[in-house]
Amino acid sequence: MHATCELDLTDFGDADTFRSLLEKHGLRYDGIRINGHSLEHSWVSVQEENIQLFTQCNPIDGAHIDPRAGDRNPGYASYLKISGEISLARSVLRDVFRDAEYIKGIIQQLMTDDGTVVDVTEE
C-alpha cells in the first residue's frame, strides 16, 4: 500500500546530513521533475523499491528551483515530500524527523491513498 507525506521548510543544516539520509535509504538523484505547476528535485530508490523523495531546493548543492531565491544553501530542502510503500515512507520520514535541524510544519501527515493516517511510531 502507498503513502505520502509533505513537510514545509525543511532544513538538514548541511549537505552531509542529507547525503547520509539518502545513502541509508538507497536513494539517488533523479533530476528535476514537473509536479503539477511546479518543479521539484527528485530522488528515487537505487534498488527500484517503491520510495521517492522530492524537494523544492537541492540540499546537496543548495540550488533553488527558483533563481530569484538568492544564495545557495546546502542542507536546505524547503518543501519536502516522501511518497512510496508505507513501511519505506515511514522509515524515511522517521529519519527526516530525527536528522533535520528544522521543520516548519507538516503540510500532510503520512497518509495512504484512501486517506488513512499512518502511525509513524509503529514498527
Report yes or no: 96 and 82 within 8 Å, Cβ to Cβ: yes
Is residue 22 a contact partner of residue 82, using CB atoms and an 8 Å limit?
A: no
- Per-residue DSSP letter, 71: S
Does 34 map to a domain? yes
Structural domain tally of the chain?
A: 1
Residue 56 inside a domain? The answer is yes
- Has residue 21 been placed in a domain? yes
Compute the average pLDDT of residues 4-15: 96
Taking all residues of the chain, what is their mean pLDDT, rounded to a whole number? 92
121 is a domain residue:
no
pLDDT surpassing 90 at residue 30: yes
The answer to whether residue 120 sits within a structural domain is no
Domain, as residue range, for 16: 2-112
CB-based contacts of 86: which residues, under 8 Å, 6+ apart? 1, 2, 3, 110, 112, 118
pLDDT at 28 over 80: yes
For the stretch 63-72, contacts whose Cβ atoms lie closer than 8 Å and that sit 24 or more positions apart, written own/partner, are 65/32, 65/38, 65/39, 65/40, 65/41
Per-residue pLDDT tens digits for 58-67: 999 988 887 7
Residue 115's pLDDT is what?
96
Which is more confidently placed, 8 or 123?
A: 8
Closest CA to 75 of 55, 89, 91: 55
Domain-embedded: residue 122: no
Residue 33 belongs to a domain: yes
Domain membership flag for residue 103 = yes
Residue 41 is part of a domain; what is its CATH number?
Answer: 3.30.160
**Length of the chain as a residue count:** 123
Is 123's pLDDT higher than 80? Answer: no
pLDDT of residue 84: 96
